[in-house]
Copies of this chain bind each other. A is one copy, B any other.
Amino acid sequence: MSLDVPPGYRALKEADVAAYLAEIPAVATNLGGQPAEWKIREVGDGNLNFVFVIEGPRGGVVLKQALPYLRLVGESWPLPLRRSFFEYQALVVQAKAAPQHVPKLFHFDETLALTVMDYLNPHIILRKGLIRGTVYPKLADHMATFMAETLFATSDLGQPAAEKKKHMALFCDNIELCRITEDLVFTDPWRVADGNRWTSPQLDFTAAAVRTDGPWKRAAQELKLKFLSEAQALIHGDLHSGSIMVTESETYAIDPEFAFYGPMGFDVGALLGNLYLAYFSQSGHETMPGSRDSYRDWILKTIESIWTLFDERFRALWNNAHAGDVLAPALFLNNQEPLALKAAQDAYMRRLFVDALGFAGAKMTRRILGLAHVEDLESIVDPDLRARCEKRALKLARLLMVEGGGFTDIKAVNDAARATQREAVR
């Protein structure tokens, strides 16, 4: 695969940014003052993009430009610039469904593969807050709302089939980014693969055992099949704690370049799985044993609230804002029909719950045995301590993937997490 850069594309340098933005009235107005006054810095810690923050006398914006390769790996892993187009398309839809949790979009430039958005300040990446042990009292409420609103609106319950099919056709083309997930999340941790790495030698035996664990591998592949074939709604596609910006009072989901029509449980699972990773990594961030006990409790309480509120809001939208071509409440008004609709809703939410648990487990596993790891665990300096955290996380991950259908509710999952945390690990 060679670098396929469309005519007109050039990577912006810091020195080009002010002149570029000055030409966009909405951005210039938002920044205020003269271009010479704008402070510009490159802040990208992602793998896929250049990210500039530009601050003017009135306000700030972020300019995010896609690079034609994966930054972490370099030009050996080319990536289509067109992902910027999918990110833009997803942001537009998400902003319509949940405007309070999506950064305001000022500009999209298809040729340069860049978007200009509101600069979120003083928001930080949720993952960093979770490592520090910061409590976000609104997080569960906000993320439940973001997921319920965006997933419902783009599902067959929230839009007519004709609109969904047209929208889906657009996102069918987001092939390469889907491919990254397909390989890295569902396949590589269960086979020998180039990029795989883990805390070694502590996890050598575990990693080898995972690669020949038939039931676990089967579960991973069955989840992959869902990812490949269940076009339930426009999903964010990468909704981990690194794609969420927070303050105590605000929450934004960013970076939806992996968006496509896929299984809703993948978004819910990404968030829950990353919160369980945060939970198990707390032992590595304690200043003394037990000093993060109450924070661990907060994480589990947040997980419980996320699912409970998500379930509640999704059902409320279904009952009050149905706009699709299937399972309309208006079809179920006579005799015992409302009971039948309720039964269908229970079954629907149950499938989504079990899917979410499975996807959570897959996302946890790949962050410990696959190519891309998470700072929650990577920042634990002592490898023995880190490995113990990781083994606990893997234990829950396997349970979620192989026996997810056995959990009656989210409390039962948290009980399993607590039990795993208490166990001694070798």
List the interface of chain A (C-beta within 8 A of B).
Answer: 155-156, 161-162, 164-166, 168-169, 172-173, 175, 178-179, 182, 186-187, 190-191, 211-212, 214-215, 217-218, 221-222, 224-225, 228-232, 325-327, 331-332, 334-341, 343-344, 347
Contact = CB atoms under 8 A, between A and B. Distances in A.
A332 B214 contact: yes
Nearest to A333: B212
Give me the 3 closest cross-chain CB pairs, A-B, nearest first: A214-B340, A169-B172, A218-B340
Given A173-B169, A179-B162, A229-B156, A339 B214 contact: yes
Contacts of A190: 331
A398 to B, nearest CB: 13
A191 B168 CA distance: 29
B331 A221 contact: yes
B156 A326 contact: no
Contacts of A230: 229-231
A343 B215 CA distance: 9
Given A182-B325, A222-B347, 15 more contacts: A156-B225, A161-B179, A168-B172, A169-B169, A172-B172, A214-B332, A214-B336, A214-B340, A217-B332, A218-B344, A221-B331, A222-B344, A224-B327, A229-B230, A229-B231
A41 B173 CA distance: 44
A228 to B, nearest CB: 5
A165 B169 contact: no
A339 B228 CA distance: 23
A127 to B, nearest CB: 29
**Interface centre among A169, A229, A341, by most B CB within 10 Å?**
A229
B340 A215 contact: yes
B217 A337 contact: yes
A326 B172 contact: no
Contact of A175 (B166, B231, B326, B331): B166
A342 B214 CA distance: 10
A328 to B, nearest CB: 8
A267 to B, nearest CB: 15
Contact of A228 (B228, B326, B343): B326
19 contacts: A156-B228, A161-B182, A162-B179, A165-B172, A168-B172, A169-B173, A186-B326, A187-B331, A190-B331, A212-B335, A217-B332, A218-B340, A218-B341, A218-B344, A221-B326, A221-B327, A222-B347, A229-B230, A230-B231
Given A191-B331, A326-B224, A341-B218, A175 B156 contact: no
